[in-house]
Structure 1
Amino acid sequence: MAMPSDELAPSSVARVKVQKTDSDVTSSDSVVVEEPLEIRIKRGKSEDQLGITMRTPGADLELAAGFLWGEGFLKSPDELISVKVCADKSLSLRQRANVVIAEINENAEEAVRILERRFTITSACGVCGSTNISDLHKREVKKVEKAKHSIQELAQMVELLDGRQKIFEKTGGLHAAALVNPEGVAVWVREDVGRHNAVDKVIGAALMDKKLPLADWTLVVSGRVGYELVQKAVCAGISALVGVSAPTSLAVDLAAEFNLTLLAFARGGHAKQYLPS
């Protein structure tokens, strides 16, 4: 699947003026960029706005692809024809860079809640809620394969993020996600101001590389583990999810229901595994 690059995306880091509380001197500092990305879905000649997410520019095509997969707009990687930046000449380059169009096969099934998908997605939270649990069953999402790595090995995988959070090192203001293959190699690492966006980016990268489903792969995230991250992992067939911070009750319940190995508070080679009740 040939996918155009998104190299025209705005910068992910901006310089701003700052003044410390104990000084009259002003200086500059780096902050992470947060801008809207409009995701459109195209079927044949029909093109509709799917949603607008606040994201950190970069890997926007992967973000759109991963979002479509996690929300059930695709049943097979082959249904994704292309993902590209908008080419509407009536828009400025900046405006075009903030619009991504995903073309899918006309025969692809309608998503379970497609009429509810024209919304604004904030960078703070993904699409979440108990109604989504029934969606997964309606979509016939299968239980994931058991993780073959030991709990000790999984707990150490957060170290794979070390040195690979380049934007965080400059700004201290965003999340990271990594997809680790069965051999323990972090194949894709992405950053974003939204934790769910970072996950969509790595899953989208795997989708565009025709690697889904990701049996015996591990998703590593730099922050807390909410329901939406477990949902995205399960839909991608990922076997284990490791988070640096706390999980939520719904995340624990969903992981147990779909056999996902869930670890949280993973730091310094130690972690807590959350087990079925």
Structure 2
Amino acid sequence: MSSDASTRAYAITRVYRDHQDSLDDELVIEEPMELRIDFELAGHRAQRSLAITMRTPGDDPHLARGFLLTEGIISKEADLLDLQRCSDGGDEASPNIWRATLAPGCNFDPGRLQRHFYSTSSCGVCGKASLDALHHQGVMPVTAGPVINADLLFELPDRLRAAQATFDRTGGLHACALFSPGGQLLDLAEDVGRHNALDKLLGRALRQGLLPLSEHILLLSGRASFELIQKSLVAGIPIVAAVGAPSSLALDLSQTYAQTLVGFLRDQRLNLYTHPQRLRCPDERQR
């Protein structure tokens, strides 16, 4: 059985009704990552611990970039002067501690942060002060985006699933993916935390200079939470489709920011919740 930095094989016993087998089972690794920030304050350099998240190792630099982007700390790659592992007081750098150094002149005000960043693999970044957070980041409603046939969306979950190599071995990862208006899979990311997977995906897009993602479709392998919709809006994504259900707050956010939100995308059906103008749907007789 093959494994990589994101998985680990364990010897287990599988018990059936009439017998048992000994075999290896591959599980997704979940480890904490601390993100520290080095920034300019009153003409001097200052440092602080910004976030701790439980994540699947393997794409930490893009996870850090995506987190900084979607939390409004940076808006472009040039805002990030350096990103590297750092130590926890010892001589060697820790694989689970990263320091982001902001460029001089980067507009970061630590007093603006109304909460401590603490995120977990189950709930994402918790404790949003209010929906006004996006307004403070300067996020604007989605004003454009592609118009696609609704039945194209029916094909996307299978295309995502076929590309999830690690999920095939473990069954324990969330995934998100970017598609073109024609349904081409452009990029995907997996992680034990759904918010981490999206940060990895958007961190890569930031580094590649692709933002805003105004001609893309985002597919989520699970539910659509407020946190994921917030992150997608920072990246300017006009269409978000989820295999699972949206939360009420996610729906309100998509409605407010003119984003098309689709849920329960499975079994050749979908629920269209907000801004239907981007989907060409069958007429009532064909539904």
State the TM-score, normalizing by the size of structure 1.
0.87
Matched, 1:48 2:48: yes
SS in 2 for 1:50: strand
Count of aligned positions: 265
Query: What amino acid does structure 1 have at the position aligned with 2:137?
Result: R
- Residue 274 of structure 1 and its aligned partner are, at CA, apart by 0.6
Indicate if the aligned counterparts of 2:10 and 2:27 stay in contact, CA closer than 8 A. yes
Distance 1:182 1:80, change over 3 A: farther
Matched residues in 1 for 2:198 and 2:227: separation?
Answer: 10
Matched residues in 2 for 1:35 and 1:57: separation?
Answer: 7
Q: Which moved more, 1:125-134 or 1:65-74?
A: 125-134
Q: Which residue of 2 aligns with 1:17?
A: 11
- Residue 207 of structure 1 and its aligned partner are, at CA, apart by 0.6
Query: What amino acid does structure 2 have at the position aligned with 1:12?
Result: S
Matched residues in 2 for 1:105 and 1:155: separation?
Answer: 43
Higher Rg: 2
Map 1:27-106 → 2, pairs under 5 A: 27-44=23-40, 45-86=45-86, 90-92=90-92, 96-106=94-104
- Residue 144 of structure 1 and its aligned partner are, at CA, apart by 1.4
Distance 1:78 1:269, change over 3 A: farther
Identity, % of aligned positions: 37
Query: What amino acid does structure 1 have at the position aligned with 2:22?
Result: T
The one of 107, 114, 132 aligned to 1:134 = 132
Matched residues in 2 for 1:48 and 1:20: separation?
Answer: 46
Q: Which moved more, 1:52-61 or 1:103-112?
A: 103-112
Q: Which residue of 2 aligns with 1:5?
A: none
Query: What amino acid does structure 2 have at the position aligned with 1:272?
Result: N
Indicate if the aligned counterparts of 1:155 and 1:263 stay in contact, CA closer than 8 A. no
Q: Which residue of 1 aligns with 2:122?
A: 124
- Residue 109 of structure 1 and its aligned partner are, at CA, apart by 2.0
Matched, 1:107 2:105: yes
Indicate if the aligned counterparts of 2:39 and 2:108 stay in contact, CA closer than 8 A. no
Indicate if the aligned counterparts of 2:177 and 2:218 stay in contact, CA closer than 8 A. yes
Indicate if the aligned counterparts of 1:62 and 1:204 stay in contact, CA closer than 8 A. yes
SS in 2 for 1:124: coil
Query: What amino acid does structure 1 have at the position aligned with 2:8?
Result: A
1:122-170 deviation line (CA, Å, top 9, x unaligned): 1001124562411111222101133313233334332331321111111
Indicate if the aligned counterparts of 2:179 and 2:218 stay in contact, CA closer than 8 A. yes
Indicate if the aligned counterparts of 2:176 and 2:197 stay in contact, CA closer than 8 A. yes
Indicate if the aligned counterparts of 1:177 and 1:221 stay in contact, CA closer than 8 A. yes
Q: Which moved more, 1:45-54 or 1:243-252?
A: 45-54
Gaps of 5+ in 1: 1-9
Matched residues in 1 for 2:271 and 2:91: separation?
Answer: 49
Q: Which moved more, 1:108-117 or 1:196-205?
A: 108-117
Q: Which residue of 1 aligns with 2:191?
A: 192
Distance 1:91 1:123, change over 3 A: farther
Matched residues in 1 for 2:51 and 2:89: separation?
Answer: 21
Map 1:164-183 → 2, pairs under 5 A: 164-183=163-182
- Residue 275 of structure 1 and its aligned partner are, at CA, apart by 2.5
Distance 1:269 1:42, change over 3 A: farther
Matched residues in 1 for 2:21 and 2:183: separation?
Answer: 47
SS in 2 for 1:52: strand
Q: Which residue of 2 aligns with 1:211?
A: 210
Distance 1:73 1:130, change over 3 A: closer
- Residue 21 of structure 1 and its aligned partner are, at CA, apart by 3.3
Query: What amino acid does structure 2 have at the position aligned with 1:19?
Result: T
Q: Which moved more, 1:47-56 or 1:79-88?
A: 79-88
Matched residues in 2 for 1:188 and 1:29: separation?
Answer: 27
Query: What amino acid does structure 2 have at the position aligned with 1:33?
Result: I
SS in 2 for 1:106: coil
Q: Which moved more, 1:98-107 or 1:208-217?
A: 98-107
Matched residues in 1 for 2:206 and 2:247: separation?
Answer: 27
State the TM-score, normalizing by the size of structure 2.
0.84
Indicate if the aligned counterparts of 1:212 and 1:236 stay in contact, CA closer than 8 A. yes
Indicate if the aligned counterparts of 2:174 and 2:190 stay in contact, CA closer than 8 A. yes
